[in-house]
């Protein structure tokens, strides 16, 4: 399957966060790479969004939108830094 | 919570044999920055919904939003938007979205834009933003497409400006007398037609995933730092 960029997360993330998530920096919990969420590799839309680390391919976060609800897991991110 | 906005089709025109320009009126639209996209949602009578992301060709304030949509042969949404949606029909939009693949007129760095096919749409917005602001930042567009007939917005993109140039590249069929035979963009093409690393450009690449991968790799071998390259892949072919 062909992957997309983290840019495509902006829509589903806008319904979850009050900040612009795709320009936020995140640190991969597996390899420690720090990158903007927009730089992640994203698989799976429109059924759901699986964002993987650009360096080690570990899963950073998953968003599934279904019947008006969104489910978010972000177990693969050690931290997220947002412009204040 | 951003939510979905109601949008009404108010203008449409044929861009190419397979693409259509669509202008929607969106009363609550907050305006957009160049390079942003939106999510478009269609709902079938039985309640089935389909969402797709589209780059925005328009830029700045105002309640009208312009898209350019390519009909994908096996698409679920694009054939409807290109062939069936009529003036006065409604869709739902979520946006404007994204802050990474964006060019802002306050940025004075040289800018290199590289488009594959319908990946030119966010760059139309960037060229418009550049022109509207009277920016002095050098902005170059390299537009790779299969055939001359496939170009979107050719007249507008070909308008020479003091700081703006557009270079066309053809991969399947070139016009008679064209200096370069049709073929995929190579590192040599990129070296000839794009700003060199020594100019310190910020480079934006938008196109099918394979195109973006190949161009990013070639630019890196030419000496561009990955930190100066921003990409937008849209999958597909």
Among A27, A53, A30, which Cα is nearest to A40's?
Answer: A53
Query: Residues A49, A10, B123, A36: is their CA dihedral positive or negative?
Result: negative
Number of cross-chain residue pairs from A and B with Cβ atoms under 8 Å apart: 64
* Residue-wise pLDDT tens digits, B179-205: 899 999 999 999 999 999 999 999 999
**Model confidence at A56: pLDDT above 90:** yes
Alpha-carbon distances of B237 from A2, B75, B116, B146, B159, rounded to whole Å: 10, 12, 10, 12, 29
Reported in sequence order, the residue ranges of A4-44 that DSSP labels E, i.e. its strands, are 4-5, 25-28, 34-36, 41-43
Q: Using an 8 Å Cβ cutoff, are B23 and B33 in contact? A: no
Is residue B53 less than 8 Å (CB to CB) from chain A? yes
Question: How far is the alpha carbon of A7 from chain B, nearest alpha carbon, in Å?
Answer: 6
| Dist CA B113 CA B125 (whole Å) | 12
Alpha-carbon distances of B169 from A50, A81, B71, B206, rounded to whole Å: 34, 40, 22, 15
CB-based contact B233 A14, cutoff 8 Å: no
CB-based contact B210 A10, cutoff 8 Å: no
- The token pair at B218 is 């070639």
Is residue B209 less than 8 Å (CB to CB) from chain A? yes
CB-based contact B99 A10, cutoff 8 Å: yes
Q: How confident is the model at residue B40 (pLDDT cuts 50, 70, 90)?
A: very high
CB-based contact B100 A8, cutoff 8 Å: no
Tell me what ipTM this predicted complex has: 0.90
Tell the burial category of B127 from Cβ atoms under 10 Å away from its Cβ (0-12, 13-18, 19+): buried
Question: How far is the alpha carbon of A45 from chain B, nearest alpha carbon, in Å?
Answer: 9
* Of residues B133 and B162, more confidently modeled: B133
Is residue A5 less than 8 Å (CB to CB) from chain B? yes
Q: How confident is the model at residue B1 (pLDDT cuts 50, 70, 90)?
A: low
Mutate to test the interface with A, among B1, B2, B214 (most CBs of A within 10 A): B2
**Which chain A residues contact residue B231 at CB under 8 A?**
5
CB-based contact A2 B97, cutoff 8 Å: no
- The token pair at A67 is 């019947």
Q: How confident is the model at residue A39 (pLDDT cuts 50, 70, 90)?
A: very high
pLDDT, mean of residues B8-20: 97
| Dist CA B59 CA B29 (whole Å) | 12
Domains and CATH numbers, chain B: 5-97 (2.40.30.10), 111-233 (3.40.50.80)
Question: How far is the alpha carbon of A75 from chain B, nearest alpha carbon, in Å?
Answer: 22
Q: How confident is the model at residue A64 (pLDDT cuts 50, 70, 90)?
A: very high
Candidates A5, A15, A23; nearest CB to B99: A23
Q: How confident is the model at residue B236 (pLDDT cuts 50, 70, 90)?
A: low
């Amino acid at each position: 399957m062909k992957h997309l960029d983290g840019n495509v997360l902006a829509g589903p993330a806008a319904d979850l966060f009050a900040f612009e998530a795709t320009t936020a920096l995140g640190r991969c919990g597996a390899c420690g790479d720090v990158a903007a969420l927009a730089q992640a590799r994203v698989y799976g839309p429109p059924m759901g969004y699986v964002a993987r680390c650009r360096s080690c391919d570990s899963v950073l976060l998953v968003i599934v939108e279904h019947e008006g609800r969104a489910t978010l897991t972000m177990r693969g991110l050690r931290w997220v830094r947002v412009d204040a | 919570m951003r939510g979905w906005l109601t949008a009404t089709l108010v203008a449409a025109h044929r861009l190419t044999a397979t693409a259509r320009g669509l202008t929607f009126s969106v009363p609550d639209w907050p305006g957009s920055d160049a390079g942003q996209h939106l999510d478009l949602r269609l709902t079938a009578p039985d309640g089935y919904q389909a969402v797709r992301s589209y780059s925005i060709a328009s830029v700045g304030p105002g309640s009208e939003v312009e898209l350019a949509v390519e009909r994908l042969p096996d698409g679920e949404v694009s054939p409807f938007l290109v062939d069936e949606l009529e003036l006065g029909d409604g869709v739902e939009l979520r946006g404007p979205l994204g802050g990474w693949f964006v060019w802002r007129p306050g940025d004075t760095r040289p800018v290199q834009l590289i488009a594959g096919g319908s990946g030119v749409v966010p760059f139309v917005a960037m060229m418009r933003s550049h022109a509207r602001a009277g920016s002095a930042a050098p902005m170059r567009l390299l537009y790779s497409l299969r055939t001359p007939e496939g170009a979107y917005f050719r007249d507008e993109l070909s308008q020479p400006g003091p700081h703006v140039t557009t270079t066309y590249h053809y991969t399947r069929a070139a016009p008679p007398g064209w200096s370069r035979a049709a073929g995929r963009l190579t590192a040599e093409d990129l070296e000839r037609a794009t700003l060199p690393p020594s100019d310190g450009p910020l480079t934006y690449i938008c196109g099918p995933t394979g195109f973006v991968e190949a161009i990013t790799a070639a630019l890196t071998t030419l000496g561009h730092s990955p930190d100066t390259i921003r990409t937008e892949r849209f999958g597909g072919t």
